[in-house]
């Protein structure tokens, strides 16, 4: 197999993305309540004393971020507590403004990734993008930009997720490089990163495969374990055969000998290729969102280019031609329902007159 130097665009053909779980009647009611609340948002308040000037009217990009699946992720993360989910959704949008999550550019982050210490490469057997972390390739001293680097790469992982997949597969190799020994981040930085991932990217980690863990890192894991959500801890797999979870043809040989993917990180080739791929994905997603009516609560399967349609197709949203000229008028779902009801009432009355129906037949509203 030829050496690969750029991101892989899609999972193997045999990858099976699990279908989304159906909501129960109670969960659907909670979702409907939450959707109604976020639809009514007109502004995002930023309480931080250092970033109050970043508050203001909600933007189209923020409304597009509030997808159906996004709302459900926050509901699950809060054990279906509607008000807590609403608060956390708002807090995340405020954090994204304060942190500048959407303002991070490839050029600004580039120096952090010159050695390929974070790489998005291939997909696991359930179509999750593989996010490789290689601490042995560390090339910078601890700083806030390292935290920004992590956020930037998680955002890019989301960009390249196949339609229907909401989670990533984290791959961590603690093998030391020949030129630099692994130096773990400070406990405060680790806590900050964990807090960001747990609070603002809930339900995104599908699995974490960790290999070559030295004793000093085992000690570090013990220190940060209390700050890791119990459900997340269950997803951590240490020193296991990665081919149980990742197809060998998309498993980087540097991480395990069982892998068959010969990948060579060349920043000059990989970084612009990743940036271009993600830019295209985001542009296509925005175009679909606009075509679907710029709806809050839009389907991610539709936005990410899957076979599903926009939620506008399943909520009664319709555009009907009117007789005056070539103009068109939108008919709201409620109006359609009332018009249909009037027709049904007339048909029932006519049927009664012809004795086709008993007199006690009533039309259900």
Burial class (CB in 10 A: 0-12, 13-18, 19+), 314: exposed
| Domain identity same for 143 and 217 | yes
| Domain identity same for 128 and 262 | yes
Q: Does residue 157 contact residue 146 with C-beta atoms inside 8 Å?
A: no
What does the alpha-carbon distance between residue 202 and residue 65 come to, in Å, rounded to a whole number? 14
The answer to whether residue 20 is domain-embedded is: no
| Domain identity same for 145 and 225 | yes
The first and second tokens of residue 191, run together, are: 């806590």
| Domain identity same for 150 and 76 | no
| Domain identity same for 285 and 208 | no
Largest CA distance in the chain: 93
Q: For the segment 196-229, what is each residue's pLDDT rounded down to a tens digit?
A: 999 999 999 999 998 887 776 666 667 667 767 7
The first and second tokens of residue 14, run together, are: 């045999």
| Strand, coil or helix: 330 | strand
Which residue intervals of the chain are DSSP H helices?
25-39, 60-65, 68-77, 82-99, 106-109, 144-159, 187-200, 215-224, 230-233, 267-291, 300-303, 333-353
Residues of the domain holding 87: 25-102+275-314
How far is residue 326 from each of residues 131, 268, 292, 321, measured CA to CA in Å?
Answer: 52, 54, 22, 7
The answer to whether residue 87 is domain-embedded is: yes
| Domain identity same for 130 and 178 | yes
| Domain identity same for 290 and 229 | no
Radius of gyration of the chain (CA): 25
For residue 170, which phi and psi values (nearest 5 degrees)? Answer: -90, 130
* Domain's final residue, options 218, 245, 273: 273
| Domain identity same for 247 and 226 | yes
The answer to whether residue 16 is domain-embedded is: no
The answer to whether residue 193 is domain-embedded is: yes
The answer to whether residue 90 is domain-embedded is: yes
* Domain's final residue, options 273, 302, 328: 273
The answer to whether residue 334 is domain-embedded is: no
The answer to whether residue 308 is domain-embedded is: yes
Counting as low any pLDDT under 50, the low residues of the chain are 316-365
Burial class (CB in 10 A: 0-12, 13-18, 19+), 43: exposed
CA dihedral 209, 112, 195, 240 (to 10 degrees): 10
Q: Output the pLDDT for position 345.
A: 46
The answer to whether residue 152 is domain-embedded is: yes
Tell me, yes or no, if the pTM score tops 0.95.
Answer: no
- Please name the residues in contact with 166: beta carbons below 8 A apart, sequence gap of 6 or more: 69, 73, 203, 204, 300
Q: Does residue 88 contact residue 77 with C-beta atoms inside 8 Å?
A: yes
| Domain count for the chain | 2
HSE, side-chain direction, 13 A CA sphere, residue 358? 3
| Domain identity same for 95 and 244 | no
| CATH code, domain carrying 240 | 3.40.525.10
How far is residue 169 from each of residues 210, 327, 347, measured CA to CA in Å?
Answer: 11, 50, 57
Q: Does residue 131 contact residue 154 with C-beta atoms inside 8 Å?
A: yes
What does the alpha-carbon distance between residue 252 and residue 134 come to, in Å, rounded to a whole number? 12
| Domain identity same for 298 and 214 | no
| Domain identity same for 156 and 95 | no
What does the alpha-carbon distance between residue 144 and residue 334 come to, in Å, rounded to a whole number? 50
| Domain identity same for 247 and 302 | no
What does the alpha-carbon distance between residue 49 and residue 46 come to, in Å, rounded to a whole number? 8
HSE, side-chain direction, 13 A CA sphere, residue 271? 18
């Amino acid at each position: 197999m030829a050496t690969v130097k750029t991101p892989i665009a899609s999972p193997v053909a045999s990858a099976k993305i699990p279908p989304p779980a159906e909501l129960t009647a109670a969960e659907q009611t909670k979702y409907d309540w939450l959707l109604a609340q976020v639809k009514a948002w007109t502004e995002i308040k930023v309480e931080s004393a250092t970033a109050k000037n970043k508050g203001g009217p909600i933007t189209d990009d923020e409304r597009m971020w509030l997808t159906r699946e996004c709302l459900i992720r926050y509901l699950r993360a809060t054990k279906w507590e509607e008000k807590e989910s609403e608060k956390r959704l708002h807090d995340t949008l405020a954090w994204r403004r304060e942190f500048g999550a959407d303002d991070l550019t490839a050029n600004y982050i580039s120096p952090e990734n010159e050695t390929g210490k974070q790489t998005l490469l291939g997909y696991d057997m359930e179509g999750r993008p593989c996010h490789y972390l290689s601490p042995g390739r560390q090339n910078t001293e601890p700083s806030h930009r390292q935290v920004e680097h992590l956020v930037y790469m998680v955002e890019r992982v989301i960009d390249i997720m196949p339609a229907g997949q909401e989670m990533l597969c984290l791959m961590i190799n603690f093998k030391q490089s020949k030129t630099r020994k692994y130096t773990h981040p400070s406990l405060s930085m680790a806590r900050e990163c964990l807090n960001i991932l747990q609070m603002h990217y809930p339900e995104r980690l599908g699995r974490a495969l960790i290999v070559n863990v030295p004793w000093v890192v085992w000690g570090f894991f013990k220190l940060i374990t209390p700050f890791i959500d119990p459900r997340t801890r269950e997803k951590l797999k240490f020193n296991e055969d990665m081919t149980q979870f990742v197809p060998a043809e998309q498993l980087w040989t540097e991480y395990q000998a069982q892998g068959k993917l010969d990948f060579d990180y060349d920043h000059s080739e990989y970084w612009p290729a990743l940036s271009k791929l993600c830019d295209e994905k985001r542009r296509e997603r925005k175009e679909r969102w606009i075509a679907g009516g710029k709806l809050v609560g839009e389907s991610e399967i539709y936005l990410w280019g899957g076979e599903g349609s926009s939620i506008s197709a399943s909520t009664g949203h319709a555009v009907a031609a009117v007789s005056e000229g070539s103009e068109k008028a939108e008919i709201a779902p409620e109006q359609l329902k009332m018009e249909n009801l009037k027709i049904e009432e007339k048909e029932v009355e006519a049927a009664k007159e012809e004795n086709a129906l008993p007199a006690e037949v009533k039309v259900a509203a």
